[in-house]
Amino acid sequence: MSGIYELSATTLEGAEAPLAAYRGKVLLIVNTASKCGFTTQYAGLEKLHKTYAAKGFEVLGFPCDQFGHQEPGDAAEIRSFCATKYEVSFPLFAKVEVNGAHAHPLWAWLKAEKTGFLGGAIKWNFTKFLVDRAGKVVERFPPTTTPESIAPKIESLLNAA
């Protein structure tokens, strides 16, 4: 399977975005949802983004409606919710599937690189993958892991460069 930099994703605005644009950055890739018990993590993700973006860090958000129909909105509704409720400024991508036959290639790759506690499948919204500057998945976090608790690992990867 290709590495992360050979993949691309569609932005929330509908433009194709090569992930090679993030080469050399530390990434936190998250499947998100607007009507989930973990939705308040948007605030922590935005704080991480603002704290570390200037040092070469990006949060990449991928809305997903595969878990309890918790992301029912279209792109405009998702953008509006994220902007008004959480002032999200990190990149958001078009709604994707993370499991099954139609899983986005990025998510298929992420799951192959780091399986979870119960196997490869994503179990719920706000599963997070931490990727180093070389494009290697270094850790996978369950939805219960708060963005704030990942900060020391992000700092370590940023300082390792």
CA angle 152, 158, 153 (to 5 degrees): 25
Catalytic residue among 36, 48, 78, 130: 36
Is 36 among the residues known to form the active site?
A: yes
Q: What is the DSSP string of 50-80?
A: HHHGGGTEEEEEEEB--STT---S-HHHHHH
Q: In terms of C-beta density within 10 A (0-12 exposed, 13-18 middle, 19 or more buried), how is residue 132 classed?
A: middle
Which residues touch 134 (CB under 8 Å, ≥6 apart)? none
Three-class SS of residue 19? helix
CB burial readout 20-50, b (16+ within 10 A) else e:
eebeebbbbbbbbbbebebbebbebbbebbe
**Looking at the annotation, which residues are catalytic?**
36
